[in-house]
Structure 1
Amino acid sequence: MHRFKDLEIWKRSRVFCSAIYKVTSNFPESEKFGLANQLRRAAVSIPSNIAEGSSRKSNKDFARFLQITLGSAFEIETQLLIASDLKFISDEDLESLLNELNSIIKMTSKFNTSLN
């Protein structure tokens, strides 16, 4: 069992989640239950799945939760690109968020590989 609070990917994904909440707070009101909600839910999913997976007794089970984490990350990437297409976020915010997301993806993938 791993201590999720000690994992750098969990710490960074929490900060990333806060950044998603901040940027989506500027979305149009009509998106409150649309794209903004989808982005927030997927962002919350990343640290949540890391935490839940860390409680599993086997590395194989934890790895399965990290795969779900990666799925959420790629979902966020798609949603951020759509938000950019719709001009809901600036190019600067998009670049910053995608850079951090890519770092989280790489860290998660490496950690997942180390569990196998």
Structure 2
Amino acid sequence: MAFKFEQLVVWQKAIELSGTVHELTLTFPKEEAFILTAQIKRAADSISPNIAEGSTGQSNAEFGRFLGYAIRSSIEVVSCLYIGKRRNIINDTDFKKLYSDVEQIIKMTQALRNSLG
């Protein structure tokens, strides 16, 4: 692994989340393609790039700023999960699993940001 971010477990988990969200959205109704599907995928897909971009050649303050963006995107995923559950698109099992995954990513990202000083 050539880049610092590739060794970050939180980045690896964010990549996994992106794949899981993508797979879940394949089950969404077609009428959600440009609404919830696009929104949750964009949010999930932006977590890992923000972690990666901030980690490479940036100051700790700049890295912290990008980690903040990753946290915001994670929170957006949680909100989309609630919308999907409310619309009966996401079942309880998938909701709980993804919610837990995102919660873990948020905690890890916050801890990383706090460690920067």
Quickly name the TM-score band, shorter chain normalised.
over 0.9
Q: Secondary structure at the match of 2:34?
A: coil
- Tell me, in whole angstroms, the C-alpha distance in 2 between the residues paired with 1:105 and 1:27: 25
Q: Secondary structure at the match of 2:48?
A: helix
Higher RCO (C-alpha under 8 Å, 6+ residues apart): 1
2:107 corresponds in structure 1 to: 106
Name structure 2 gaps, 5 residues minimum. none
Match runs of 1:23-34 below 5 Å? 23-34=24-35
2:96 corresponds in structure 1 to: 95
1:81 corresponds in structure 2 to: 82
1:20 corresponds in structure 2 to: 21
- Tell me, in whole angstroms, the C-alpha distance in 1 between the residues paired with 2:81 and 2:101: 12
- Tell me, in whole angstroms, the C-alpha distance in 2 between the residues paired with 1:57 and 1:103: 24
Q: Shift of residue 57 of structure 1?
A: 2.4
Q: Shift of residue 53 of structure 1?
A: 0.5
- Tell me, in whole angstroms, the C-alpha distance in 1 between the residues paired with 2:34 and 2:55: 31
- Tell me, in whole angstroms, the C-alpha distance in 2 between the residues paired with 1:88 and 1:41: 18
Q: TM-score, normalised by structure 2?
A: 0.96
- Tell me, in whole angstroms, the C-alpha distance in 1 between the residues paired with 2:63 and 2:57: 6
2:116 corresponds in structure 1 to: 115
Give aligned-pair identity as a percent: 37
Once the two structures are superposed, residues 85-104 of structure 1 have per-residue CA deviations (whole angstroms, 9 ceiling, x without a partner) of: 00001100000000011000
Aligned partner letter, 1:111:
L
1:65 corresponds in structure 2 to: 66
- Tell me, in whole angstroms, the C-alpha distance in 2 between the residues paired with 1:98 and 1:57: 30
RMSD (CA atoms): 0.9
Moved over 2 A (4+): none
